[in-house]
Structures are given as structure tokens and as C-alpha cells.
Amino acid sequence: MAEIPPHLTETLASMDAHRIPAAFTDLLLPALGESLPGTDVSELTTEELRRAFLSYLPDTGQEVLVAWPADRTTAKLPYRAVLERIDDLWYPSMDDLIIVGSREGRPWAGR
């Protein structure tokens, strides 16, 4: 099975991501539920997408969990790195991307 987005493994390695192999099924699905609400942001430009994420989850230097459901892949990354490399991490026409962080001490998931 091909990775979605292409070269995901190499991209995560270049970002020194801490990949968590079982986190998607063991941590994220039980915590968030099988059906996550989402907003279609596929038509946004990269900069509009960054602003949209920042409006939901401000960058305070925190780490977030980032998941690619199609690959059942989860990695822990600095949120700032996700925002900077979003165009390498998400291909809107090909996959979903879930970002899980904390907003005002409460869990938050963006998709």
C-alpha cells in the first residue's frame, strides 16, 4: 500500500518526528471516537490553512499528535513544525489529517 501523502516516512524522518506506530488505534480512536467531525479545508491555500489551524489551536510551542487515518500512522511533532511543513504533510485531495493538541487545557482535534 502506498503512503498517503507520498514520502510520508521520509518527511517525518527529516522532521525528527517521534513516530508512534500503535497510537492511532490504541490512543486516538478510543479518545476521539471512530467518527470525527471535520471541516472541509481542501480549497484553502497553504497560508489560509495555517491561519485556520491557528484560529482553533494557537501555537504555544507545544507538541501535538498528528495522524493520517488512511495509513493508520501517528507521530508526535512540534505544532510549529506541522504548521511550517503542512504542504509536505497533507495532500487535500488524497487524505485526511488529524491534529490533536490541547486548547486551554482541554483536548482539541482538528481535521
Domain span at residue 87 reads 8-33+59-110
State the total domains in the chain.
Answer: 1
Residue 67 belongs to a domain: yes
Residue 48 belongs to a domain: no
The parts of the chain modelled with pLDDT lower than 50 are 35-36
What are the φ and ψ backbone dihedral angles of 18, each rounded to 5 degrees? -95, 100
pTM score over 0.75: no
Sign of the alpha-carbon dihedral angle for 100, 72, 90, 12: positive
Q: Residue 79: what pLDDT?
A: 92
Q: Residue 53: what pLDDT?
A: 85
